[in-house]
């Protein structure tokens, strides 16, 4: 796994005034909950005060709940963990979730942080979930990406004379 190319923000991400939601899958709970804790911490560190949360059973259930939040929030973060098994089910789940989250972002004009891990084994997921000895923190990264995009949309809309929360 590589963090090569990951942008480094200068610590000035000011998300005060943004409303954000986090939707977390329960499948692979320990991994998903670690990512949720880190995503929420990243939101709080950036100044988010209005934070909504929900849980769903698995990754396939993420898009419908994410879509509902996308209608009323400035950004949404989807968190889950899909570990490859011995059947093609992994491919179907990963493709469906990714396509669903992308469609929601475009249809609702709302940034969706995709923090759904798709790994070959549990250790790869642990390495990316933001535990003390992990090499990556995908929950926090998904939150930061969603907040950054929401702030960019706010600037664009303000410059265009639109309400900051509408496209």
Residue ranges of the binding site: 27, 59-61, 81-83, 86-87, 114, 128
Q: How far is it, in rounded angstroms, from Cα 121 to Cα 123?
A: 6
In this structure, how many other beta carbons lie within 10 angstroms of the beta carbon of residue 57?
10
Known binding residues for (2S)-2-hydroxy-3-oxobutyl phosphate are 86-87, 128
Q: How far is it, in rounded angstroms, from Cα 91 to Cα 98?
A: 11
Q: In sequence order, what E strands does 26-73 have?
A: 50-56
Report, as residue numbers or ranges, the catalytic residues.
89
Known binding residues for 5-amino-6-(D-ribitylamino)uracil are 27, 59-61, 81-83, 114
Answer whether 143's CB lies under 8 Å from 72's CB.
Answer: no
Angle of CA points 31, 33, 35, to nearest 5°: 70
């Amino acid at each position: 796994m590589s963090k090569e190319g990951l942008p480094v923000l200068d610590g000035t991400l000011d998300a005060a005034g943004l409303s954000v939601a986090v939707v977390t899958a329960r499948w692979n709970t320990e991994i998903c909950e670690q990512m949720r804790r880190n995503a929420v911490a990243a939101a709080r560190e950036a100044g988010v005060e209005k934070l909504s949360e929900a849980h769903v059973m698995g990754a396939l259930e993420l898009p419908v709940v994410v879509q509902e939040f996308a209608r009323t929030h400035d950004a949404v973060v989807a968190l889950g963990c899909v570990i490859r098994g011995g059947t093609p089910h992994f491919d179907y789940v990963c493709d469906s979730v990714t396509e669903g989250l992308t469609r929601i972002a475009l249809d609702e004009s709302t940034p969706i942080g995709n923090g759904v891990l798709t790994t070959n084994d549990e250790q790869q997921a642990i390495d990316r979930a933001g535990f003390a000895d992990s090499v990556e923190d995908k929950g926090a990264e998904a939150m930061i990406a969603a907040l950054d995009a929401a702030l960019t949309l706010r600037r664009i809309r303000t410059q265009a004379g639109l309400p900051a929360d509408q496209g």
